[in-house]
Structure formats: structure tokens, C-alpha cells
Amino acid sequence: MRVYLKTCYSVPDAVSAPRNDLHLIAQLVQFETVNSSAAKAALDKMEGHLCYLKEQALGLSIFDTNLSNHERKQIDNSLQDRAGCVENVKRRKSFDIRQLAQNSLSDLVTVNTEKFFQILGIPTDFSKEDVHMWEQHPSYQYGNKIANSPRVVSDHAERSIKLMQDFNRSLTKREEVFQDV
């Protein structure tokens, strides 16, 4: 719980999801020294939920205000430098989620990350400016508005359902009473 709690409450923020997921994976890898079976189970579960670490979703990170300007610029540089890199994290033949713990977000960026901006119609001319000036640039502001508008809902719903199930189970163990509740 001490590893997951911070991530659990930051779930609705889509722009920070790639950073949070990568951080959670790194914490779980470290947690293996404390409780290897729990960490392995959590890492196995995370392996099926890496949608924010896919190439296109990594574009959200540019608008994460909790990333340093240096990190955002590294992501932007990777967009420019990896024009030929099309390797998908989950498509690797010998994929081990633990390998992600050693990466930064910019390490995961590929040519497909640029499609994020194309699909959403976000101009990337802000990247020609100094990273410190991005937030004043109209195209960055437009992209920031778009990237921050969707809220991640499914995790809220899943947590609410789980909370209610746990609450109901705490009231009774008898099936007939459980059905009445």
C-alpha cells in the first residue's frame, strides 16, 4: 500500500500518468527486496496496464507540469532524434517490465509519439522555442488545454466498486444477508 497510495490518488490526471506509471514500476522493482511475492504480483498486473507508456500516450508528458523543463525538453529532443525508432515497449520479444524501471520517459519516445500531436491537431511549433517559454506559446497552451481536459474515469469507478464490495463484505459473511445488503 505504501508504494501504490500516491499513484492511486493521482490517477485522474492523464498528463502525469506516464510519469506516475514509470515511477510506480521503479518503486515496485525496489519493493522486491522487501516483499518479492507482492512486488511480483503487482508488476505482473502492471504489465497489462501500460497504456500510458505506449508511444502515442507519451506525448501527454510534454504537458505534465510536474516534469522539469529539462525532462520535457529531453522528450522533445527524443521526438526529433528518434525519427527511425519504431520499437514498441510491449512488442519486444524479451520484454521484462523491470527494464522500464531503468528508463526515463524520453527513452521510451519513438516516432509514433509524434502521432499524439497529429491526431489531436496540436501544433508543435512551441518546441522551436526555449522550453522556459513554452507555457506562454499559444500552441502549447492549446495543447495543454486539450491534454488536460480528459479525466481518467475508469479507475475512479473501479476504486468505488472495490470500496463498496469491501464494505459489503465487512458487514457480513453470510450470502443471504450479503444479497440483502
Please write the tens of the pLDDT for every residue from 84-124.
Answer: 555 555 554 456 888 888 889 999 988 888 889 999 999 99
DSSP code string of 25-64: HHHHHHHTTT-HHHHHHHHHHHHT--GGGSTTGGGGGGG-
The answer, yes or no, to whether residue 3 has pLDDT greater than 80, is no
In a domain, 137, yes or no: yes
- Count of structural domains within the chain: 1
Mean pLDDT of the region 145-164 = 69
The answer, yes or no, to whether residue 126 has pLDDT greater than 90, is yes
User: Band of the pLDDT at 2, cuts 50, 70, 90?
Assistant: low
In a domain, 156, yes or no: no
In a domain, 74, yes or no: yes
Q: Quick one: pLDDT at residue 150?
A: 72
In a domain, 30, yes or no: yes
Domain that holds residue 24: 5-150
Residue 13: φ, ψ to 5°: -90, 95
In a domain, 134, yes or no: yes
Q: Quick one: pLDDT at residue 94?
A: 52
In a domain, 32, yes or no: yes
In a domain, 176, yes or no: no
- Does the model's pTM come out above 0.85? no
